[in-house]
Structure 1
Amino acid sequence: MNEELNQESHSGRQVIWRLLSYLKFFKKKTLIAFIVLLTATGADVLGPIVMKIFIDDYLTPRFFPVRPLMLLAAAFIGLYAVSALFNYYQVISFQRIALNIVQMIRVEVFSKVQHLGLRFFDQTPGGSLVSRITNDTETIKDLYVTVLSTIVNSTVMMIGIFTGMFFLDMRLAFICLLLMPFLLVLMWVYRKLSSKIYRVTRVKLSQLNAKLNESLQGMSMIQAMRQEKRLRNEFGHINSEHKMALLQSVRLNSLMLRSAVYSVYLIGLMMILSFFGIQSFDHVVKIGVLYAFINYLDRFFDPINQIMQQLTIFQQAMVSAERVFGLLDDHRTAPVQEGNLNAAVREGRIEFKDVTFSYDGQTDVLKHISFTANPGETVALVGHTGSGKSSIINLLMRFYPIERGGIYIDGEPLTAFSDQELRRRIGLVLQDSFMFVGNVADNIRLSHHQITDEQVKAAAEFVQADQFINKLPHQYHEPVGERGATFSSGQRQLLSFARTMAQNPKILVLDEATASVDTETEEAIQEALSKMRRGRTTIAIAHRLSTIQDADQILVLHRGEIVERGTHQELLKKGGLYYKMYQLQHGKTGDKVSSAH
């Protein structure tokens, strides 16, 4: 949390300019909206001057000519009509521009997230990302909708009011101008104090979303392990901290927005009344001028109050923008193709040459890994949990950058291939099969529209998934809910097999592909796997050693190193770590293992 609180990669001025830079995509609409806003503000400023003319020139001397009074009344009503109509139009215009900009930012953030590397997701809770994409961008929207138009409107209004004041009485206008330094200091102090509070508020809201996301994703485990009370207490603690941060902002707003501004207003009112009171000793005071000045003072502090109130939204938007831009500028992106090479996977020969890798930059999870998988061969990776099997897969799939050593496919470095070529030629089947919302055919085809319905069915038949698909009420059009919750783990795995085969990959990567399949289904899948591996280079992770006995090469990993390699029979003859693992999986006791040596 402290890292997120202290993360301010952008100064306030840079954030503002970056937010305003999105207006360049709507130059014409923004210009029209500002012109309309200026017109509405000008109509508001001229209203008191028309009223001053009526009071001093007609009401005070009791002179009521019909035609001039009708013109004044028409001008007064016309000005307010123009103000109301144009204010309505400018609000709609700024709302439309704001919604378009927020739509752009959300798409930009979502697109950025799609290209971030797994290293980023390893270190960032999913709920926090959801908060940035939804809550923070929604707060940024308020900046364009209310803050921008209010500040411009209020600034133009204050300039117009001072212009009117100088037109009426220059001395009094200078006196009122003395109030500005106090108001500017007030705004500066408020902005400094509120920025810290709102940063805590946004971080706590992000943590609430993260905790909520974690609870919803793991609800079955929470209920099974009776963790409801613990999760409720943790959520309540974060919620309480969020509430305290909000209460701090309420206290600050109550003190700075109303009380302090109203005190300055009273000082200004006393200055104007004192000025006219002293002037009345020697000169006749014009009631119209007095009315206009008091009216202007009210109108002057109305935009001041609006600006101060909008500073709340402004500060929240600034903090949210810092968080969003921090995400957009995050450098932990997924590795991409380097250079202008048009490398293609043709045979599927894989080479690892002295690869060493660390997730955190401190502890190596892979140490000097070297092996070769020739075209059409099956290389199996075995070892205890944490030995580095999945890390080898992650590097081969280019989920993480290769820091030391090299990985080559058909003699070309992995960095020479485009993402499209790698994802098209390398088929990945994970232990936990992820299903997308849609239907069965969509989950096999994914977004590859070139795959026909016939190819979808052929892929399903190839892995024998058609046996359960054809029994579904809607068969290939059967709806698939979130994460495929209505299907069994075995059915989801069969669909992921079909999804992989529909791509017709040259290289096959199996990460515990049969771990979630029941014994009856496994027999059918083993036959499908045998067909899938034919003519393809296969890298397979397996805990059940019986599933990889026919592998051309078995690599035994221990603490990130390859400690043994060979075929199933060769490794059994060595009597090493693989032999012990095999004996344990087949129900042998520790004594029998020892005696077997």
Structure 2
Amino acid sequence: MSKRTKDQLKKKSHHLKRFYYPLDQAVEKPFNWNQMLRLLSYVKPYSKTLLPGSIIAMLISTLVRLAVPILIGKVAIDMAIANNDMSFLMYLVIGIGVLYLISYVANVFRIKWVNVLGQNVIYDLRRQLFSHIQRLSHNFFDKRSAGSILVRILNDVNSLQELFTNGIINLLMDLFMLVGIFVTLFVLSPKLALAVMVILPIMFYISTKLRRNIRRSWQDVRIQKSRLNSHLNESIQGIRITQSFSQETENTEFFDGVNTDNFETERIATKKSAYFGPFVEMSNAIGTVILISYGSRLLLLGEANGGIEIGTFVSFAFFLGMFWEPISRLGQIYNQLLVAMASSERIFEFLDERPNVAEKENAKEFSNMRGHVELDHVQFSYDDDRIALHEISLEMKPGQTVALVGHTGSGKSTIANLISRFYDPTKGSVKIDGQDVKDMKIDSLRNNISVVLQDTFIFSGTIMENIRFGRPSATDEEVIEAAKVVGADDFIQRLAEDYQTEVEERGNILSAGERQLLSFARALLADPRIIILDEATASIDTETEVKIQKALKRLLKGRTSIMIAHRLSTIREADKIIVLENGTILEQGNHQELMDRKGEYFDLVKSQFQMLDAI
């Protein structure tokens, strides 16, 4: 790919970075040890079982590796061979073989236990993250795309897998190995050890200089992956719109721009991380040259004149080769730590997110909710720039059917969201049965409220499972009865496997009207005290709507119902109709009262019927 093409593709993706993902930005931070300790705290539940076993197995295999060079150099060469004791040499060879067998068995158990440990930690972390996100307020999801959230649950958690399955134990093993080698070398020959280790301060200086740069690069990689996945998620979900407007080519070019950014950031991060390996090899070469030149001199002097014996030289050669191996692996582990830090920052950002709608510690349960809803001087803003509701006060008595009408953006859905406590008022209070909803348990509140939206969501699974989502403990008979009440049973019986028919993602095998009927059945099965219908009949044809209207009379009886509708014919029989405009109440009353008043509602009805006549 030419540089010009890459630049063009980057320009195409520039507005994606600028407008869609303002919350995904790389930040310069020092290596956060507190965050790393927090990450390692997920190992704590296994600190009495898998972790000790893994560490013991690691110590056994490491001690064997440290012992073998001593046995070969100081014992086999300087003692057995020097004294021509072949019997002792034979026993020594057998002993070394037994040690290697012990090391092999220890390594088998170490690998097994650390992999089980790592998989359990990843499972716990992903479960906690998903569970936490499930409890976050709507405000959190308003600011983030579904794709960027998926990236953190899947990719960012997966990127920690290598750290937990191998990284932690390998880090301990390599550190233990380095300390053991370091001490042994100085015991064997302090002069030669100092000469060989002269390269270490230079290594430490250069690796420290690379640290910040590499970490920032891996942060960029995580962010670009998030953008790539977000764009993929939107493109796949919006494929029908893309094809209907013949924008496949443009969408592909746009994806190429995002993909190029992802490619470039990962290439740069990988290249920077790869610098460490060749540098360690160069250090190993320098150390080997020092060993041969200076070690040979000490060897010629002999031990009596302050030099070394041949066995010491051989042991030194073994240990020197072993010394750079853990240093090289530590470089890889350090890269894993940098990736883990970049991912854990993003994971903990979500875990530290607190719901805007928080439940009090002493929150109370609703018992026998009647459905008396009051909004007392409620004001609400989704952001600082626009007020959605201005000092709204209204009352909905138990069992009443209340309709909210008005132009788009007038505040109808906002009122419904406040009653369900998806948001909290900026000012004022929302009360149910005289209790401020802020004082009540959220689950207790929402278990008594069913919401049916215009764009209903159907999960992958069977028809039976989708309806039962309203009340998981319901029997098959109760599910079928709910479907019959709302008129869904007719079309379900025509399906190949009726209630056991598998629906595809988002219920694509069903029509919009059929999906809506299922959402009605789901809401009815929950047996709520308050039902909110947010444009619930907008996607239903006139014939189906007649069935729904008949079913609603039975469904809504004895329940407080809130109907949000642009199709005014569906709300004529509501007990109270509230007309909203720009977050304020213009007028309220029943259909006849408002028609007689000839105000805003009258004009809405008149304009809607004029449109129908024109058609």
TM category (shorter chain) comes to: over 0.9
Partner deviation per Cα, 1:169-206 (whole Å, 9 max, x = no partner): 12222333443323332332232221000000011011
The one-letter code of the counterpart of 1:487 is: L
Specify whether residues 378 and 173 from structure 1 end up closer, same or farther in structure 2 by C-alpha distance, changes over 3 A only.
same
* TM superposition shift of 1:116: 0.9
Cα distance in 2 for residues equivalent to 1:154 and 1:480: 52
The one-letter code of the counterpart of 1:176 is: V
Query: Is the Cα contact below 8 Å between 2:471 and 2:525 reproduced in 1?
Result: no
Structure 2 gaps, min length 5: 1-20
Specify whether residues 449 and 3 from structure 1 end up closer, same or farther in structure 2 by C-alpha distance, changes over 3 A only.
closer
Partner of 1:595: none
Cα distance in 2 for residues equivalent to 1:101 and 1:338: 29
Partner of 2:291: 272
Are 1:48 and 2:69 an aligned pair?
yes
Query: Is the Cα contact below 8 Å between 1:131 and 1:205 reproduced in 2?
Result: yes
Partner of 2:593: 570
Cα distance in 2 for residues equivalent to 1:575 and 1:321: 61
User: Which of the numbers 480, 484, 488 marks the counterpart of 1:461?
Assistant: 484
**Normalised TM-score (structure 1):** 0.94
* TM superposition shift of 1:473: 2.7
1:83-162 aligned at under 5 Å gives the runs 83-162=103-182
Cα distance in 2 for residues equivalent to 1:90 and 1:466: 58
The one-letter code of the counterpart of 2:85 is: P
Partner of 1:515: 538
Query: Is the Cα contact below 8 Å between 1:343 and 1:416 reproduced in 2?
Result: no
Specify whether residues 255 and 561 from structure 1 end up closer, same or farther in structure 2 by C-alpha distance, changes over 3 A only.
same
Query: Is the Cα contact below 8 Å between 1:335 and 1:398 reproduced in 2?
Result: no
* TM superposition shift of 1:154: 1.0
* TM superposition shift of 1:337: 5.2
Partner of 2:269: 249
Partner deviation per Cα, 1:504-530 (whole Å, 9 max, x = no partner): 222121101110101111111111122
The number of residues matched between the two structures is 588
Query: Is the Cα contact below 8 Å between 1:337 and 1:419 reproduced in 2?
Result: no
* TM superposition shift of 1:221: 1.2
Q: Secondary structure of 1:508's partner?
A: strand
1:356-375 aligned at under 5 Å gives the runs 356-375=379-398
Cα distance in 1 for residues equivalent to 2:610 and 2:206: 77
Cα distance in 2 for residues equivalent to 1:101 and 1:540: 46
Query: Is the Cα contact below 8 Å between 2:365 and 2:444 reproduced in 1?
Result: no
* TM superposition shift of 1:100: 0.5
Partner of 1:239: 259
Partner of 1:481: 504
Query: Is the Cα contact below 8 Å between 2:449 and 2:529 reproduced in 1?
Result: yes
The one-letter code of the counterpart of 2:292 is: L
Partner of 2:59: 38
1:185-264 aligned at under 5 Å gives the runs 185-258=205-278, 260-264=279-283
Query: Is the Cα contact below 8 Å between 2:28 and 2:216 reproduced in 1?
Result: no
Cα distance in 2 for residues equivalent to 1:148 and 1:539: 56
* TM superposition shift of 1:9: 8.9
The one-letter code of the counterpart of 1:264 is: S
User: Which of the numbers 171, 184, 191 marks the counterpart of 1:164?
Assistant: 184
Cα distance in 2 for residues equivalent to 1:481 and 1:24: 41
Cα distance in 1 for residues equivalent to 2:554 and 2:569: 17
Cα distance in 1 for residues equivalent to 2:338 and 2:427: 45
The one-letter code of the counterpart of 1:154 is: D
* TM superposition shift of 1:361: 3.3
Cα distance in 2 for residues equivalent to 1:437 and 1:254: 43
* TM superposition shift of 1:449: 4.0
Partner of 1:471: 494
Cα distance in 1 for residues equivalent to 2:32 and 2:339: 12
Cα distance in 2 for residues equivalent to 1:279 and 1:467: 96
Are 1:501 and 2:524 an aligned pair?
yes
Q: Secondary structure of 1:89's partner?
A: helix
Partner deviation per Cα, 1:35-63 (whole Å, 9 max, x = no partner): 1101100100111111102223344x4x4
Are 1:351 and 2:374 an aligned pair?
yes
Cα distance in 2 for residues equivalent to 1:210 and 1:472: 35
Q: Secondary structure of 2:487's partner?
A: coil
Query: Is the Cα contact below 8 Å between 1:427 and 1:509 reproduced in 2?
Result: yes
User: Which of the numbers 443, 461, 467 marks the counterpart of 1:444?
Assistant: 467
The one-letter code of the counterpart of 1:34 is: I
Partner of 1:402: 425
Partner of 1:76: 96
User: Which of the numbers 15, 40, 50 marks the counterpart of 1:20?
Assistant: 40
Q: Which moved more, 1:268-277 or 1:336-345?
A: 336-345
Cα distance in 2 for residues equivalent to 1:472 and 1:370: 47
* TM superposition shift of 1:401: 1.9
User: Which of the numbers 409, 416, 431 marks the counterpart of 2:454?
Assistant: 431
Specify whether residues 49 and 276 from structure 1 end up closer, same or farther in structure 2 by C-alpha distance, changes over 3 A only.
same
* TM superposition shift of 1:537: 1.3
Cα distance in 2 for residues equivalent to 1:397 and 1:254: 53
The one-letter code of the counterpart of 2:534 is: D
* TM superposition shift of 1:588: 5.8
Q: Secondary structure of 1:359's partner?
A: strand
Q: Secondary structure of 1:499's partner?
A: helix
Cα distance in 1 for residues equivalent to 2:98 and 2:549: 84
Partner deviation per Cα, 1:56-81 (whole Å, 9 max, x = no partner): 3344x4x4323201111112222222
Q: Secondary structure of 2:474's partner?
A: coil
Query: Is the Cα contact below 8 Å between 2:454 and 2:535 reproduced in 1?
Result: yes
Are 1:490 and 2:513 an aligned pair?
yes
Cα distance in 1 for residues equivalent to 2:332 and 2:47: 28
Quote the RMSD (CA, aligned, Å): 2.2
Cα distance in 2 for residues equivalent to 1:500 and 1:561: 29
The one-letter code of the counterpart of 2:219 is: R
Q: Which moved more, 1:432-441 or 1:271-280?
A: 271-280
Query: Is the Cα contact below 8 Å between 1:426 and 1:509 reproduced in 2?
Result: yes
Q: Secondary structure of 1:451's partner?
A: coil
Specify whether residues 11 and 2 from structure 1 end up closer, same or farther in structure 2 by C-alpha distance, changes over 3 A only.
farther
Q: Secondary structure of 1:4's partner?
A: coil
The one-letter code of the counterpart of 1:555 is: I
Specify whether residues 520 and 3 from structure 1 end up closer, same or farther in structure 2 by C-alpha distance, changes over 3 A only.
closer
User: Which of the numbers 310, 313, 324 marks the counterpart of 2:347?
Assistant: 324
Q: Secondary structure of 2:509's partner?
A: coil
Specify whether residues 337 and 228 from structure 1 end up closer, same or farther in structure 2 by C-alpha distance, changes over 3 A only.
farther
Query: Is the Cα contact below 8 Å between 1:128 and 1:207 reproduced in 2?
Result: yes
Q: Which moved more, 1:33-42 or 1:356-365?
A: 356-365
Q: Which moved more, 1:33-42 or 1:450-459?
A: 450-459
* TM superposition shift of 1:579: 2.1
Partner of 1:540: 563
Are 1:530 and 2:550 an aligned pair?
no
Cα distance in 2 for residues equivalent to 1:465 and 1:120: 34
Query: Is the Cα contact below 8 Å between 1:345 and 1:421 reproduced in 2?
Result: no
Q: Secondary structure of 1:587's partner?
A: helix
Percentage identity across aligned positions?
A: 35
Cα distance in 1 for residues equivalent to 2:612 and 2:88: 112
